Amino acid sequence: MTRGYIIPIGGAEEKHNEPHVLRRFVKLCGGRHARIAVLPTASELRETGQRYEQIFSEIGVKEARSLPFAERRDAERAEWIEWLEGADGVFMTGGNQLRLSARLGGTRVHEILKQRNASGVHIAGTSAGAAVLSEHMIAYGDEGGSVRADMVTLAPGLGLTNLCIVDQHFRQRDRIGRLLSALSFNPFVVGVGLDEDTAAFIGPDDLLEVHGAGAATIIDPADVSHTTMEHVKRHEPVSILGLRVHVLAQGASFHLRTREARASANVHGHHS
């Protein structure tokens, strides 16, 4: 069994003009033959699911269907469960990641997502849908660059991977402080900060490849020698020594196990 891709997207992905990220997801799922399940659970807007149905239809799939699991009891709806079990790809929309974890965590849907991903189905999420893919997720936090002890709140995510923690709208909302704070609690995981319209395609071999218009900021705490997180009081700044940071644009990659970063194959770009 080969695990499917896990694809967090940094939010505000280009949906109509040049939806490169979504096209790549569709291609992985089988292109014109793909059946894509859309989970709009994180969103409060009723039209979110239908909008993505339309977007995936425009890109060209066999069928895209929104499964609006809104309450925990919806996770038992036989028809929706059956559709989810037959999908080639699953896409989770943006909104509020705590709504996703609170409504789906521990339900039949959660189990199916884990089983299907383990057996080769690709699962993507944008914004809130990206945050919830990992075992630990950033529930909410403050913007800003410096690290403080109280600037981030973590919650359990859906746990498709335990190797990284994702933050989204990264440069646009200046979230490096809260991602670093999350890593100071748990220096085991790799921090992945995704700009808008930018995705990390995490393959079955745990190689993360960057695609999209922005960059991924990879923060590797493997060599952290010291953090003051356990000593400081709330609101106080935190010291972290020995972090390693990579900024990866289109085509660059980072291996979540070996921690090796590579620039894209076409290093010289298109400048004349």
pTM for this prediction: 0.96
**Which pLDDT tens digits describe the chain residue by residue (272 residues)?**
899 999 999 999 999 999 999 999 999 999 999 999 999 999 999 999 999 999 999 999 999 999 999 999 999 999 999 999 999 999 999 999 999 999 999 999 999 999 999 999 999 999 999 999 999 999 999 999 999 999 999 999 999 999 999 999 999 999 999 999 999 988 999 999 999 999 999 999 999 999 999 999 999 999 999 999 999 999 999 999 999 999 999 999 999 999 999 998 654 444 43
Closest CA to 245 of 256, 234, 261: 261
Annotated domain spans of the chain: 6-262
Cα–Cα distance between 238 and 58 in angstroms, integer? Answer: 47
Could you say which of 1.10.490.10, 3.40.718.10, 3.40.50.880, 3.40.50.300 is the CATH number of the domain covering 6-262? 3.40.50.880
Report, as residue numbers or ranges, the catalytic residues: 127, 169, 196
* Cβ atoms 137, 155 nearer than 8 A: yes
Q: Half-sphere exposure (CA, 13 Å, Cβ side) for 70?
A: 8
* Cβ atoms 191, 180 nearer than 8 A: yes
